[in-house]
Structure 1
Amino acid sequence: MTISLPWSRKDQARIEPLVEVDANLLFESTEVEVEAQVQQESEWIWRPLFILTLAGVVLALWYAGIREYVSWIDRQIGYVAVEGATRHIDKSAVEQGVWREINAPLLDIDLQQLHESLVTQPWINEASIKRSWPAALEVELTEEVPVARWGGRGLLNHEGDIFWPELKPEYASLPRLNGPAHETVRIMQQFHDLSQLFSRSGLRIIGLDLEARGAWNIELDNGIHIIAGREELMPRLRRFLDVYAAQLADRADQVVEVDIRYTNGVAVRWRETSENSADKKK
């Protein structure tokens, strides 16, 4: 009699048939894996090398292109153009002066040095210089506009800057201002204010001097010279205008100078007439 134990049946139920594996398939799978690994390692080695080589070629081409471009734009200057509305500036002379200053190719030229050499010329107020391609310089000039004479040789522009050109007869009619060079703006403002004051009495100021000690002297278009001093300027001038209207206007051609530095009046110096000369001889 055969006795089947429970655990014996359980073990038998777990027994599964073995699967037969072909050895050739195992070898083929191994070879595929090896080939894939070799290919992966080969790509890991050659891909960075290819990228570096390509980058080197691109950089070399870029550098060659930059050198070619720079050599094209950094050529010797072949043309200078001088522009701007001018009356007194000789543009041909300015152009020749610029040519004498050119000592380098277009990109290396010192534009600041060129600018400084131009603005030192008396009639040039401002100069703008820029590069232009192919191989040219463009110069834009702003000319000085005189508004007054300064002393006996100079001129003043609207900003109070003194410049010293060769004086021309056409500027003889400009008012003549004079004084310390650092006081030009103050003198111009004073001239403006006094001109408005005198114009109400039909008088025109053609000269205004500021002495170093601060005293003012005025020259009128009728030839009268006014010594105004430095204190209480406006009250004294108003008093002079009252005296002028009441007593001097009819004899203005006989007046040489009026000193208004007095508290209650003015001192008048008259021109010498033939009668006065005769009286002096007697």
Structure 2
Amino acid sequence: MQQLEANNTAKPPYQMAGLVFLVTVLLGLCYAAWAISHWLEDSQKAPINQVLVTGNRVYIDDALIENVVRKNHPESFFELNVDRLHQQIEALPWVYRASVRKRWPNSLNVHIVEEIASAKWNSDSLLNQYGQAFDAQLVNGELPDLFGPGGSEKVALQGYRDMQTLLNSASLTIDELYLSERFAWNLRLKNGVRLNLGRSEYLNRLHRFVEVYPLLKDQGKQIDYVDLRYDTGLAVGWKDAEKTKQES
């Protein structure tokens, strides 16, 4: 009877082998997890080997983008914080939008959308094509100077575009545009003529100037300013001959 009970409690050899195999697998998985974790923590084993910069760029140097990555992000490829790097790149001058993507196994793709400068703003910044101010140094290219109160950037840029379209028919170009605190418009053209358009109906008033401009040129005198703040007419100021001679 005792011999029978002993035979019943003994485990067959295949069960013991299965148990040993299971324990071996579990130990192997634990070691693999530890090894991978240790490898990921070691930046020298997973460095960022290549930074690929794409997008149309005029003012942005690829070396500047790569320097931001190398200097501010010494982490491994796996540990790199893409969101933080994205914010740092978009904070650079001339960067309007950027996207950052990891590319297996050790590269970064950085796509840049560069700002397009449409005008200078208040002598210390630039306006992009959407009327948004940004800080950057204009290396080359001639842009109009726009001046106005804070928050009027989009209004000033759209006003400039509308008025320049009208002036194109007379081959005239805006050099400076001033938008006052009360939203009165003043222009200085490339030829030195100053225009006072007031607050309302400024496009209609500018159209009136374009129509009468050929007659004003035929007067044989150089125009100093034209005040268009009238319902139907305008007032013209002429430069005196001595002043004209000094400026020429």
Interval containing the TM-score (normalised by the shorter chain):
0.7 to 0.9
Which amino acid is 2:49 matched to? Answer: Y
Q: Which residue of the partner structure matches residue 231 of structure 1? A: 200
What is the RMSD of the two structures over their aligned residues, measured on CA atoms? 3.6
Q: 2:53 pairs with 83, 87, 91, which one?
A: 83
The unaligned stretches of length 5 or more in structure 1 are: 1-30, 278-282
Q: CA deviation at 1:235?
A: 2.8
Q: CA deviation at 1:228?
A: 0.8
The verdict on how the C-alpha distance between 1:267 and 1:217 changes in structure 2, with shifts beyond 3 A counting, is same
Larger radius of gyration: 1
Answering whether residue 156 of structure 2 is matched by residue 187 of structure 1, we say yes
Q: Secondary structure at the match of 2:182?
A: coil
Deviations 1:190-236 (A, max 9, x none): 22222222223333333322222111112223221111111222332
The verdict on how the C-alpha distance between 1:111 and 1:275 changes in structure 2, with shifts beyond 3 A counting, is closer
The 5 A counterparts of 1:1-282 are 57-72=24-39, 75-76=42-43, 77-84=47-54, 85-168=56-139, 170-172=140-142, 174-245=143-214, 247-251=215-219, 254-274=222-242
Moved more, 62-71 or 91-100: 62-71
The unaligned stretches of length 5 or more in structure 2 are: none
Q: In the aligned structure 1, how far is the partner of 2:189 from the partner of 2:80? A: 52
Flag the structure with more relative contact order, 1 or 2, with Cα contacts below 8 A and sequence separation at least 6.
Answer: 2
The verdict on how the C-alpha distance between 1:68 and 1:275 changes in structure 2, with shifts beyond 3 A counting, is closer
Q: In the aligned structure 1, how far is the partner of 2:244 from the partner of 2:174? A: 29
Which amino acid is 2:184 matched to? Answer: A
Q: In the aligned structure 1, how far is the partner of 2:160 from the partner of 2:57? A: 28
State, as a whole percentage, how many aligned pairs show the same letter: 29
Q: In the aligned structure 2, how far is the partner of 1:210 from the partner of 1:276? A: 27
Contact 1:223 1:253 in 2 (8 A): no
Contact 1:75 1:106 in 2 (8 A): no
- What is the TM-score when the length of structure 2 is the normalising length? 0.76
Q: In the aligned structure 2, how far is the partner of 1:122 from the partner of 1:68? A: 42
Higher helix proportion, which one? 1
Which amino acid is 1:200 matched to? Answer: S
